[in-house]
């Protein structure tokens, strides 16, 4: 049985190949690339990552009272933006 995964950005459902899994470790949200970390995970489309951060979606995804540390996710976004910039040039 596969659990239904839905993106915390757009709320649409998708398979494990479309969605990236994130877990909360010591108050910090990190990518769970092998998708095996235990505990509560949140799923997001790569394109919805910014939306999820802007909406503070991680707060409710992990049932927290305040926004967790998303530094790693923001770094990931910056890397992606740099890559896009390079393609444009
Ligand atoms: Zn999405």
- pLDDT above 70 coverage of the chain, percent: 93
Asked if residue 30 is part of any domain, the answer here is yes
Residue 11 pLDDT exceeds 90: yes
> How far is ligand 1, taken at its centre, from the CA of residue 88, in Å?
25
Would you say the pTM of this structure is higher than 0.85? no
Asked if residue 79 is part of any domain, the answer here is yes
- Count of structural domains, the chain: 1
Asked if residue 58 is part of any domain, the answer here is yes
- Output the pLDDT for position 1: 46
Residues 6 or more apart whose Cβ sits within 8 Å of residue 61: 8, 42, 52
Q: Which residues pair with 30 in a beta bridge?
A: 23
The alpha carbon dihedral of 6, 16, 33, 45 has a sign of negative
Q: Residue 43's domain spans which residues?
A: 19-88
Asked if residue 62 is part of any domain, the answer here is yes
> How far is ligand 1, taken at its centre, from the CA of residue 16, in Å?
12
Asked if residue 11 is part of any domain, the answer here is no
Q: Which residue has the higher pLDDT, 3 or 68?
A: 68
- Output the pLDDT for position 79: 83
> How far is ligand 1, taken at its centre, from the CA of residue 40, in Å?
18
> How far is ligand 1, taken at its centre, from the CA of residue 19, in Å?
8
> How far is ligand 1, taken at its centre, from the CA of residue 1, in Å?
22
Asked if residue 9 is part of any domain, the answer here is no
């Amino acid at each position: 049985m596969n659990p239904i995964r839905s993106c915390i950005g757009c709320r649409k459902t998708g398979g494990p190949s479309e969605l990236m899994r994130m877990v909360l470790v010591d108050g910090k949200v990190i990518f769970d690339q092998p998708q095996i970390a235990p505990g509560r995970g949140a799923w997001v489309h790569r394109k919805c990552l910014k939306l999820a951060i802007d909406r503070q979606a991680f707060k409710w995804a992990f049932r927290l009272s305040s926004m967790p540390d998303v530094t790693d996710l923001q770094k990931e976004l910056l890397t992606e933006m740099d890559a896009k910039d390079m393609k444009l040039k």
